[in-house]
Structure formats: C-alpha cells, structure tokens
Amino acid sequence: MSVLLVGASGRVGRMVQYHWRADGTSGIAVVKQHRRDAPPGGLQWSPLDGAAALVDHVRLNGPIDAMIMLAGVTPGSGKDLELNSALALACVAAAQQAQIGRVLLASSSAVYGAGDGTPLAESALTEPVNAYGKAKCAMEVAVAPWRDRGLDLCCLRIGNVAGADALLRNVARLSPQDPVIIDRFADGHGPTRSYIGAGTLAAVLRTLAAQAAPLPPVLNIGAPTPVSMEALAHAAGQPCRFRPAPPQAHQHITLDCTALAHLYPFTADDSDPHEMVAQWRDAVSV
C-alpha cells in the first residue's frame, strides 16, 4: 500500500515516520511530501500551489492509495490559523485530481471545547473555546462537501500526542531536577487528558489507511484510557510542583475512543504513560 504523508517534516510527522521505519511489518510504502529540496524521484509539492506536482508524481511513479495530511498551522506559530482550511481544501482537491481515494485529515479534539467533564464522543456538540479549535472546526465544515464527490474523507480529532504536547515539550526543556508545574484541583489531583503515544498513533494511521470499508466522517484519536498530567510527568522522570488551579481551568477533558477501538486493536500498554514516554524518546533519539 502506498501512502502519501503530508506534513512529514513536522514534529508529529517525524515521530510517525520513525515508528513506521522501526516496525518492519508496517506494510506501507511512504511517499513523503517535501516543500523544498526533494531528493531525486521525490515529491516536491506545496498544496497551496495546486495539484500539478502531485498529479505528475503519480503519473510517473504509480498510484497512491491514501493521503495522511498532518500539516497545519498550530497555536503560537505566529501564522494565520485560517490557513488550516485553505491547506485542507487544497489537499482534498489534489487528492481527487491524483485519484487518491482516501484522505485522513488531522483535526483536533479542540473542536469540542471543554465539555462537561465526561468523555466526548464524536456525536458531541462542537463548541470550541479558542481560536485553534474554531479554525479546526471551520476546516472540518469546509471539506465536508468533498465526501459527496466520492472522496473517503475522515477528519481525525486527535487528542494529545505524547511528545508533541505542552507538558512533555516543557519536560524536554527542563533539567532533571527542575519541577514541571501542574494545576491542582479540589480533589488533590491535576488535569486528566486523552493521550496517544507516537508509535501507537503510527500504527493507528497505518490501520485506518488500509481499512477496506469506508471510514466514518470523524474519528476521535487517543488511547482508550485517559492519562493524568502528573502520571505522565512521573513517567518521564520529572518532579512535579502543584499550584492551585485557576477558576477557569478544567480538570477532565477527555475523548471517548470507542469508535476507534472498533477499528484498531488497542492493548493495555497503549494507555500506559511509561510506554507513551518511551515511544516519544525512541523517536527523538535518532
């Protein structure tokens, strides 16, 4: 199976590629999208420049079965978040022109907003509370008509990818003795969130790309059991220092990943914060 990875040079894209290479049974041929300086025979393509380069690559090198689109504008990048819609629309249009039948499009759990503290299923209302969530929500709406044009398009509402999240990125910058600061709520514990390890995410993406049946329009992406922030910090060997949670903070923002579990055979280790940290460190050690 041939898979085009758009956003291969991003943080998540690099970790996913590492785990695909490390898994000798991955069964996929990866076509990496290069924005510049592609190697001979590689795909140099900027989606916003149109589909021509991708169509030419497919004509010369053979068909591509699925596109995994991880590229996007993230909070704090200083770029216009509305570019997420433009990039997504350019990618789905190019996929159809290049006769790529399936697109997995990275969205975000931020589309749900804070929720009510119970796990958020795909049927939950989308009530984003920040600009990033609103931009990803607008992106999902913008690409929806392409399903009626025959494209198997699944928006992946990804939770936290261990190693691309704020907590572990802070850990990476701290010395081993410096504590990471975590909000403490009334029950004495910190926040709980839905996480997924980079290696598990790589396996999930491979599995979804290869599904024989059409995929649902949206899927939550996270390990079955949410993770507490202090457990993840401890798994990374980092001390914690608690501070009182501000009134606007939310302790439990988690995903219901039942639908994904029907498509991917999770194991208990996939929800283990130690395993998530190991997958992150393996990927960034090379």
Decide if 188 is inside a domain. Answer: no
**If you compute the radius of gyration of the chain from its CA atoms, what whole number of angstroms results?**
19
Decide if 206 is inside a domain. Answer: yes
Q: Quick one: pLDDT at residue 237?
A: 96
CA distance 133 to 119: 17
Backbone angles phi, psi at 180, to 5 degrees: -90, 140
What is the count of structural domains for the chain? 1
Decide if 29 is inside a domain. Answer: yes
Decide if 215 is inside a domain. Answer: yes
Q: What is the dihedral of CA 217, 73, 221, 7, to 10 degrees?
A: 90
Q: What is the pTM of this model?
A: 0.96
Decide if 281 is inside a domain. Answer: no
Decide if 180 is inside a domain. Answer: no
Q: Quick one: pLDDT at residue 253?
A: 97
Q: Quick one: pLDDT at residue 75?
A: 84
Contacts 24+ apart (CB under 8 A), 165-171: 165/195, 167/229, 167/232, 167/233, 168/232, 168/236, 168/277, 168/280, 171/233, 171/236, 171/238
CA distance 155 to 59: 27
Mean pLDDT of successive 10-residue stretches along the chain, which has 286 residues? 94 95 80 92 95 97 97 84 96 98 98 96 96 96 97 98 95 94 95 98 96 97 97 96 95 98 97 98 84
Tell how strand 43-44 and strand 152-158 pair up. Answer: unpaired
Decide if 41 is inside a domain. Answer: yes
**Domain around 261:** 2-162+195-222+255-270
What's the CATH code of the domain at 152? 3.40.50.720
CA distance 279 to 162: 8
Decide if 243 is inside a domain. Answer: no
Q: Quick one: pLDDT at residue 26?
A: 65
